[in-house]
Structure 1
Amino acid sequence: MRKSVMTGVGVITAVVFTGGGFAAYNLWNGVTGGTRAAAAQPSTVATPAAKASAIKAPSAEAAAAGAKAFLAAWAKGDFEEAGRLTDRPEAAVAALTAFRTALTPTALTLTPTAERPQAGAPMTFRAEVGLPGAVRVWRYESAVAMVKTGDGGVVVHWDPTVVHPRLGAGKALAIRPVSSSVPSQVVDRKGRPVGAFPSIAAVLDQIEFADDGAQPAGDGTGVVVVGSAGGSGGSEPLFTISASKGAKRQLTLDADLQRVAEAVVKEQSGPASVVAVEPSTGHVLAFANNPAVGQNRAFGGATAPGSTMKVVTAAALLETGLTPDSPVPCPKNTNAGGRLVPNDFTDARLGYTFKDDFAQSCNTAFIEAAQLRLKAGSLPAVAKDVFGLGLVWKTGLSAFDTDIPVETNPEQIALAYVGQGRIRTNALAMASVSATVQSGTFRQPVLVPGKAQPMAARTLSATVLNQLRSMMQRTAQSGTAAKALGSISGAAAKTGTAEVGGQNPNSWITAYRGDLAVAVEVQAGGHGADAAAPAAAKLLQLGNSH
Structure 2
Amino acid sequence: MTHLSSTHLPGPGPAPSDRRRPPRRTGLKAVVAVSVVLAVAAGGAYAAGAGPFARGDEPLDPAAAAQARAFLADWAGDRLDGAAARTTNPATAREVLRNFTSGLDIRGPRLTAARAARTGDGDGEVRVPFTAKMPVSGLGTWTYRSQLPLRKQGNGGWKVDWKLSLVHPHLSESAKFRLEREETAAPQVTDRAGASLTGGSYPSLQAVLGQFAPGGGGPRGAIRLVDRVTGDVEGTEARFGGKGAGGDKPVATTLDASWQAAAERAMAHADGKNASLVALRVDNGEVLAMANSPATGFNRAVSGTYAPGSTWKIVTSSALLLNGSVAQDTVVDCPRHLVVGKEFHNVETSEFPGATFRKDFTESCNTAFISLRGKLGGSELGDVARKYFGVGQEWHVGVPSYDGSVPVPKDETEKAASMIGQGRVQANPLIMASVTATAASGTFHQPVIVRGGEDTTRTTALPAPVVAQLRSMMRATVTEGTAHVLADLPGGIGAKTGTAEVSEGEPNNGWLVARRGNVAVACVVEQGVTGGGSAGPVLHSLLSAVPDDPS
Taking structure 2 as the reference length, the TM-score comes to 0.59
Amino acid at match of 2:549: N
Identical-pair percentage = 39
Match of 1:253 in 2: 255
Amino acid at match of 2:358: K
Q: Secondary structure at the match of 2:407?
A: coil
Q: Secondary structure at the match of 1:386?
A: helix
Q: Is 1:330–2:331 an aligned residue pair?
A: no
2:187/2:209 contact within 8 Å kept: no
1:475/1:494 contact within 8 Å kept: yes
Where in structure 2 are the equivalents of 1:15-26 lying within 5 Å? none
- Shift of residue 533 of structure 1? 1.7
C-alpha distance 254-125 of structure 1, shift in aligned 2 (>3 A): closer
Distance in structure 2 (CA, Å) of the matches to 1:540 and 1:454? 32
Q: Secondary structure at the match of 2:210?
A: helix
Amino acid at match of 1:370: R
2:207/2:298 contact within 8 Å kept: no
Amino acid at match of 2:314: V
- Shift of residue 480 of structure 1? 0.3
- Shift of residue 179 of structure 1? 8.9
Q: Deviations over 1:63-102 (max 9, x none)?
A: xxxxxxxxxxxxxxxxxxxxxxxxxxxxxxxxxxxxxxxx
Distance in structure 1 (CA, Å) of the matches to 2:532 and 2:461? 29
C-alpha distance 463-125 of structure 1, shift in aligned 2 (>3 A): closer
Q: 1:508 aligns with which of 507, 511, 516?
A: 511
Where in structure 2 are the equivalents of 1:61-72 lying within 5 Å? none
* Superposed CA RMSD: 3.1
Distance in structure 1 (CA, Å) of the matches to 2:291 and 2:521? 12
Match of 2:168 in 1: none
Distance in structure 2 (CA, Å) of the matches to 1:471 and 1:181? 48
Amino acid at match of 2:430: L
Q: Secondary structure at the match of 1:416?
A: helix
- Shift of residue 126 of structure 1? 6.8
Match of 2:317 in 1: 314
Match of 2:395 in 1: 393
1:442/1:455 contact within 8 Å kept: no
Q: Deviations over 1:395-420 (max 9, x none)?
A: 11111120111112110011000011
1:442/1:456 contact within 8 Å kept: no
Q: Deviations over 1:492-514 (max 9, x none)?
A: 11100001012111010111100
Q: Secondary structure at the match of 1:531?
A: helix
Match of 1:419 in 2: 421
Match of 1:384 in 2: 386
Amino acid at match of 1:247: K
Distance in structure 2 (CA, Å) of the matches to 1:264 and 1:439? 26
Q: Is 1:343–2:341 an aligned residue pair?
A: no
2:275/2:523 contact within 8 Å kept: yes
1:254/1:286 contact within 8 Å kept: yes
C-alpha distance 396-126 of structure 1, shift in aligned 2 (>3 A): closer
Distance in structure 2 (CA, Å) of the matches to 1:284 and 1:329? 39
Amino acid at match of 1:333: H
Gaps of 5+ in 1: 1-123, 141-177, 218-243
Q: Secondary structure at the match of 1:435?
A: helix
Match of 1:189 in 2: 192
Distance in structure 1 (CA, Å) of the matches to 2:509 and 2:255? 26
C-alpha distance 424-489 of structure 1, shift in aligned 2 (>3 A): same
Q: 1:368 aligns with which of 362, 367, 371?
A: 371
1:272/1:523 contact within 8 Å kept: yes
Q: 2:288 aligns with which of 277, 285, 290?
A: 285
Amino acid at match of 1:193: S
1:307/1:418 contact within 8 Å kept: yes
Q: Is 1:457–2:459 an aligned residue pair?
A: yes
Distance in structure 1 (CA, Å) of the matches to 2:23 and 2:465? 58
Amino acid at match of 1:487: L
Match of 2:527 in 1: 524
C-alpha distance 129-451 of structure 1, shift in aligned 2 (>3 A): closer
Q: 2:212 aligns with which of 207, 212, 221?
A: 207
Match of 1:492 in 2: 494
Amino acid at match of 1:202: A
Match of 1:27 in 2: none
- Shift of residue 128 of structure 1? 9.4
Distance in structure 1 (CA, Å) of the matches to 2:383 and 2:22? 44
Distance in structure 2 (CA, Å) of the matches to 1:129 and 1:282? 32
1:199/1:287 contact within 8 Å kept: yes
- Shift of residue 185 of structure 1? 2.1
- Shift of residue 340 of structure 1? 1.2
Amino acid at match of 1:203: V
Gaps of 5+ in 2: 1-19, 34-180, 220-245
Q: Secondary structure at the match of 1:286?
A: strand
Distance in structure 2 (CA, Å) of the matches to 1:512 and 1:311? 12
1:253/1:285 contact within 8 Å kept: yes
C-alpha distance 245-408 of structure 1, shift in aligned 2 (>3 A): closer
Amino acid at match of 1:381: D
Distance in structure 2 (CA, Å) of the matches to 1:347 and 1:127? 43
